Amino acid sequence: MHATALGGLGTAAIKQGIAFESAFAGVKKTVDATDKELAEFEQGIRDMAKSMPQSATAIASVAEAAGQLGIKNESLLQFTKNNGNARRCDKHDVGRSGC
């Protein structure tokens, strides 16, 4: 039973990793950045996922959209964070801290 549970966790982790890599490929396509900047974006997105309710995959999708909108590299992570936070708020949250 324990091996089955661990196998399931491993499979889930692999699927999450693949989903993130796919989403981050979209960032690479839409942002004109150096390898160093891309590494910083990737780490920044992963760090955001630790403190936001969205997954790194969802956050990478916001960063991809930022690239499509032409957001400058120096503003990309802040734009992504701001818009990721906005997504967690709805009309019932107006006036709540962080919304």
Residues in the chain: 99
pTM: 0.75
CB-side neighbour CA atoms (13 Å) of 62: 26
Cα dihedral angle (45, 58, 98, 42), rounded to 10 degrees? 10
Q: Is 4 exposed, middle or buried (0-12, 13-18, 19+ CB in 10 A)?
A: exposed
Q: Compute CA distances 12 → 16, 60, 79, whole Å.
A: 6, 19, 29
Residue 4: predicted pLDDT: 54
Query: Does the structure show a pLDDT above 60 at 82?
Result: yes
Average confidence (pLDDT) over 61-76? 96
